[in-house]
Amino acid sequence: MKIEKYATPRELGQAAGKLGAEWIRDAIVKKGEANIILATGQSQFETIETLVQDKRIDWSKVRMFHLDEYIGMPITHKASFRKYLTERFIDKVGGVKEAVLINGENDPEEERKRLEEKIGRHPIDVAFVGIGENGHLAFNDPPADFDVEDAYLIVNLDLQCRQQQLGEGWFNNVEEVPLQAISMSIKQIMKSDRIICAAPDRRKAQAIKDCLTLPVTNMHPSSILQEHPECVCFLDEGSASLL
């Protein structure tokens, strides 16, 4: 793993988005298309903004996979990750080759199987991920399952994870935060050729220290990124403050 530190979340996001755009263009040159994974949440605002502003990417050759989504979440809700990706990415790039979004309103098991079949046919070139306040990777809260082969999982969200979603302003109280989600699995994320991890903000500092400096363990799920052959983790002054 390579770690880069920047002064602010904006500078972090600009650097992460710039490298991600370079890797996407590289995949298109080599394969004729690029398959990417996009994360959501406050930590990804600047990274995605930088990506969509890159005029050198032919988005008609890019297939986007969605990292995670709440079960039972309507797309009209402000916390919907489908809504987030539609408004912040899909609508702004003017047409991707395909957007494989998770529909949390479908039968969860049927939706999980649909997504698994789809991603199985399209190996991922670039994954954009973050690190949660509890160290989660996607919605794989501790203790995360590092061994399950399924590409997508139905997962239970722990209290710290749900409190993070409340703290970011997506819900009015913690009781509103769904208890379950459909999440890409750890093994599936780690199959990505390249990974961009954007993790800004002081509230992430303890998780960053645990995941990047301690031995790999499923109690700090994002620590598994230490083992990926081509992962760059982007931090700012706040998130790196305990390193």
**pLDDT computed for residue 140 by the predictor:** 96
Q: What is the average pLDDT score of the chain?
A: 96
Taking the C-alpha atoms of residue 110 and residue 146, their distance in angstroms, rounded to an integer, is 23
Bridge-partner residues for 64, per DSSP?
36, 99
Tokens of 138: 């996607």
Residue 54 has pLDDT above 90, yes or no: yes
Q: What is the mean pLDDT of residues 48-58?
A: 96
Within 8 A by CB and 6+ apart from 198, the residues are 12, 13, 16, 39, 43, 44, 46, 47, 128, 129, 130, 234
Q: What is the mean pLDDT of residues 175-200?
A: 97
Q: What is the mean pLDDT of residues 206-215?
A: 98
Q: For the segment 73-104, what is each residue's pLDDT rounded down to a tens digit?
A: 999 999 999 999 999 999 999 889 999 999 99
Q: What is the mean pLDDT of residues 131-141?
A: 95
**pLDDT computed for residue 41 by the predictor:** 85
pLDDT tier for residue 42 given thresholds of 50, 70 and 90: confident
